[in-house]
Structure 1
């Protein structure tokens, strides 16, 4: 089947091949990338939602803990206020003077606790003492609340606190109202008052609006992708009933609580929960309130809804665009191929040996460039053929010239050898030794059959050069070689050391040798990566400004006879043969020494 499809594809026209290739190479990968990207973005979106959920739960935990501490501190202050307890538990009628005194001291102290804590909705004390009259908004009769469940729960807890969560404060015929006039949900902290310790005198209640007690639970009410709940062990769930999630989602809380009981483990964690066709991720954390968990329920479908819409829109747009482009490509390809066939026809002529072919295709597009470069190619072939013929002629002439130079150099070397023998016969050994050194140097220079030589050959060449220079100056040049024997067989560039030694004699030692002996030391060492060969003279040295100028000259393209070309040529040859990382460095101190360092590969 695949072979038939390939054969059919090979037999189709070039236009159809372009269209099929375009769809296969561009369209299919684009759709695949979109699909993979969607999966990646979906995963990241889920991870971001979980991180945000963890953050919200941690923040809400801190908010609840802080608010519990505030309310607990206030109720503790009330319980520890002996004047307030004595007033509530009094057995005699209070005079006007006593009431005024109470109002100006103890009453104001308690009321100020509310005013100083902006989030506290109210501090209420309920008493069954008939001797105490109601003083709004602090002291009320206990019979107003005696039938309320929270009151009974408070009495059952004795002197322990009882938390009443998300209830309407309408049990004393006064509502804590919103701007719309509807009662707010509040959280209350309740405790029985006893004075002395064994006598019940009333109940104290501290109120805080639920939206202040659970700030994260009540923020973003229009977000229908998640909801935060407070869940206790009895299955009671507290949340923001005005939340968009609560309004829109068909969320079965009874079914959810059963799953929650089975899957919750430890103080925090997460699990997946499915309600019908809807997938949820549940993140939970133990709450500061006893036997309660903070739970954030995330609707994964809602979280990814915007991504799905974008993906579908992109896929539809891509398919439509591919269809339009396919039509355009079909017509443009037909136009292009007309000129392409002209080029193919010209290629056949070139293959037949006709290099004077003309290609009448001129434009600035790719086909025009192809025709232009083909014309240039034909011209280049003609030029190369001509150059090949010329090079053969030049090569023959060069071979004849090289043969002549070799004969001349050989004649000169033989002549020097004859003169050296005459000097030895006459016992003029200084001239004889100098001519021997010069002959060796000429032979070394003329014998250039390879670019690399063993290091010991370069060292011998340096010795011959120093021997010649010893005749020129009044004082001796001491040459010290400090190179390990195992380095002597290492290959180095030919004539890479002698020009540097010559430079040391010419510019470093020449003035010194008029008055005293001079020294040149050649050191060689290597580490794990590099080989270093240093040439040090104890001559006049170089001042700092000139040294900087010399280093810049070595690494520039400038040809300056002021600094000489020998050292620069060596540096350039090293970089050409070994790479830009290698070369020459110079260290010098005026009046003391100059050190030239060759950095070579190991």
Structure 2
């Protein structure tokens, strides 16, 4: 009900506006709504397209990151194979004789050279160590150590027995056996059993890289506020870049990242899931690295882009409103210019309303307004001509009425005079003359009394009888009138003076040339649709 009242109020208000204001409002609304709708659709489509592009780019980054990690894994395995495949090194460790200490220095120098060569060929390798199970084997520099130094030896033994590819330890603090080294960085280490042919296990080989080197590609995204990459190892530990702008922006740590994919099984498959951090929608894409038994994940969001697009939409709407206001002013001015002739026509119509029929509108141009002004001028001219014609007709009618009045007065005078003469004739016993004068009076009264076009047939026959009576005075012979009309037809209306011309022709052309008594018969009869009247004379014929 309120909506209906509001709608009626708006319509009433709009109806009361001038045409220029109506056009301005309509144009402004059409332009404004079009711009706003177009801007909204453009922003929404851009948002969708940007989100799809961001996910597609993130998938490409994930593939590149996975490839980078697999390349570092391959480097670690090649490094270990280069050492474990060296016959001299393996045979020396296997066949080491405690009593022979002379070859230790030479062995150490040769082994150091090999390690340096390997590290030069693979600069990403941070550390290469050999842990020997023989407790009596001497520790050589920073390369060969006793396996008793391994704090997690049991775990390493268990894992290397379980997995043929060795034991991977991710993002753990560097174990430095040099007490003078103060800096400690997190590294990724690979432990592989050290065997010589089919001989029993001689110990372990460890190769390690710095975590940010091993996951170089993943850590290179730290400045990106729209995504973060992290690794989930086989134990469920999350490895990520703590310096990530994304992590700082959304206050995420290892536990926070774990909460994002809580309830989803990411292991062993490539996935894409839609998640939320608070009210911020995100997309998590992942892939499995079989060699490491780990899952690499990317979490992406276009929240920043969406905010930028929303800001852009707000700016577009604000600019649209300003443009709409400017367009409204321009449209108002142009509309007033276009409506100048209409205003002139309205002013001229008001002059005509006041009786000034000489008002005209200046016609210039060939547009619709000029055509309207031209036809307005023609209409006013036509109205003036019609008024003049009506005035002339009314004047003519008035003159005719006055003339008819005079004629009526004269006819009354003549008829009254004839009646007086008839009375004088009767006084003098001139009855035939009196009858003739009475017939003439009746004839004149009937012909002068023209109040209507149609009269009863009875009145028309009576008029013909008076006319025949006067004609008998004129001729020496008698003209008889024979009426054969049923009484019921006498009340029908016929055209006044319809029979007189035919009767007159019958006398002049039929009976008068005969020169003797004649007879005129008026016969009337009717069928189902028409009434027929016949006038017959017994004269010479035409």
TM-score by length of 1: 0.52
Per the alignment, residue 50 of structure 2 pairs with: 45
Aligned-pair distance for 1:130?
Answer: 4.7
Residue aligning to 2:259: 255
Shift of 1:345: 7.0
Aligned counterpart in structure 1 of residue 298 of structure 2, from 284, 296, 299: 296
Task: Tell me by how many angstroms 1:55 deviates.
Answer: 0.5
Q: Give the root-mean-square deviation of aligned CA atoms.
A: 4.1
Q: Is the 8 A contact 1:281 1:300 kept in 2?
A: no
1:163 corresponds to 2:165 = no
Measured in 2, the distance between the counterparts of 1:174 and 1:227 equals 36
CA distance in 2, matches of 1:100, 1:235: 45
Distance 2:33 2:267 in 1: 46
Q: Residues 303 and 267 from structure 1, CA distance in 2 versus in 1: closer, same or farther, beyond 3 angstroms?
A: farther
Partner of 2:194 in structure 1? 193
Please state how far the C-alpha of 1:141 moved relative to its aligned partner.
3.8
Q: Decide whether the 8 Å contact of 2:50 with 2:302 is kept in 1.
A: no
Aligned partner of 1:238 in structure 2 is: 239
Label 1:358 to 1:44 Cα distance change in 2 as closer, same or farther (>3 A).
Answer: same
Alpha carbons of structure 1 residues 33 and 342: separation in structure 2 relative to 1, 3 Å: same
Most deviating of 231-240 and 329-338: 329-338
The residue aligned with 1:595 is none
Number of the residue aligned with 2:225: 224
Provide the residue aligned with 1:538 in structure 2.
none
Query: Does the alignment pair 1:16 with 2:21?
Result: yes
* Partner in structure 1 of residue 212 of structure 2: 211
Describe the SS at the equivalent of 2:113.
helix
- Structure 2 residue aligned with 1:65, among 66, 70, 74? 70
The change in CA–CA distance for 1:49 and 1:182 in structure 2 (over 3 A counts) is farther
Distance in 2, matches of 1:259 and 1:86, equals 52
Q: CA deviation at 1:108?
A: 1.6
Structure 1 residue corresponding to 2:154, chosen from 112, 128, 152: 152
Secondary structure at 1:222 match in 2 = coil
1:57 and 1:294 in contact (8 A); partners too:
yes
- The residue that corresponds to 2:140 in the other structure is 135
Is residue 267–residue 288 contact of structure 2 (8 Å, CA) maintained in 1?
A: no
Counterpart of 1:27 in structure 2 is: 32
Structure 2 distance, partners of 1:207, 1:347, is: 101
Please give the secondary structure, in 2, of the residue aligned with 1:270: strand
- Superposed displacement of residue 218, structure 1: 0.7
Aligned to 2:60: 55
Alpha-carbon separation, structure 2, partners of 1:370 and 1:153: 100
Instruction: For 1:491-502, list aligned pairs within 5 A.
Output: none
Residue correspondences, number: 362
1: distance between equivalents of 2:51 and 2:295? Answer: 22
Find the aligned partners of 1:297 and 1:72 in 2 and give their Cα distance. 30
Q: Is the 8 A contact 1:273 1:280 kept in 2?
A: yes
Q: CA deviation at 1:237?
A: 1.2
Given that residues 127 and 202 in structure 1 are in contact (C-alpha distance below 8 angstroms), is that contact kept between their aligned partners in structure 2?
yes
Cα distance change of structure 1 residues 374 and 338 upon mapping to structure 2, 3 Å threshold: closer
In structure 2, relative to structure 1, the CA distance for the partners of 1:130 and 1:222 (3 Å cut) is same
2:123 is aligned to 118
1:373 CA drift (Å): 10
CA distance in 1, matches of 2:39, 2:183: 50
Change over 3 Å in CA distance of 1:334–1:315 after alignment to 2? closer
User: d(CA) in 2 for partners of 1:373 and 1:325?
Assistant: 23
1-structure distance, mates of 2:267, 2:103: 58
Verify: 1:307 aligned to 2:312, yes or no.
Answer: no
Q: Equivalents in 2 of 1:174, 1:21: separation in Å?
A: 85
Q: Is the 8 A contact 2:223 2:245 kept in 1?
A: yes
For 1:339 and 1:213, the matched residues in 2 are separated by: 81
What SS class does the counterpart of residue 259 from structure 1 fall into?
coil
Q: Deviation of residue 120 (structure 1)? A: 1.5
Please give the per-residue CA displacement for 1:84-125, whole angstroms capped at 9, x wherever unaligned.
Answer: 123334442476752343245444223311111122212111
**Whole-Å Cα distance in 2 between the matches of residues 126 and 265 of structure 1?**
32
**Counterparts of 1:35 and 1:42, CA distance in 2:** 10
Partner of 1:474: none
**Mapping of residues 349-428 of structure 1, within 5 Å:** 358-359=362-363
C-alpha contact (below 8 Å) 1:154/1:192 kept by paired residues = no
Distance 1:338 1:278, change over 3 A: closer
Q: Which has the larger radius of gyration?
A: 2
- Relative to structure 1, the CA distance from residue 185 to residue 347 in structure 2 (aligned partners, 3 Å threshold; closer, same or farther) is farther
Distance 2:217 2:301 in 1: 17
Deviation readout 1:500-552 (Å, 9 max, x if unpaired): xxxxxxxxxxxxxxxxxxxxxxxxxxxxxxxxxxxxxxxxxxxxxxxxxxxxx
Could you tell me which residue of structure 2 aligns to residue 317 of structure 1?
Answer: 319
- Give the superposition deviation at 1:272: 0.9
CA spacing shift, 1:153–1:373, aligned 2, 3 Å: same
* C-alpha contact 2:156 2:191 (8 A) present in aligned 1: yes
Relative to 1, partners in 2 of residues 1:213 and 1:90: Cα closer, same or farther, differing over 3 Å? same
1:281 CA drift (Å):
0.8
Moved more, 58-67 or 82-91: 82-91
Output the CA distance in 1 between the equivalents of 2:268 and 2:40. 37
8 Å CA contact 1:122, 1:208 repeated in 2: yes
Residues 434-455 of structure 1: CA deviation (Å, up to 9, x unaligned): xxxxxxxxxxxxxxxxxxxxxx
| Equivalent residues of 1:343, 1:371 under 8 A apart | no
Flag the structure with more relative contact order, 1 or 2, with Cα contacts below 8 A and sequence separation at least 6. 2
Give the CA deviation at 1:371: 7.4
SS in structure 1 at match of 2:169: strand
- Report the equivalent of 1:508: none
Q: Equivalent residue of 2:224, what SS?
A: coil
Q: Where does 1:171-190 land on structure 2 (aligned, <5 Å)?
A: 171-173=176-178, 183-190=184-191
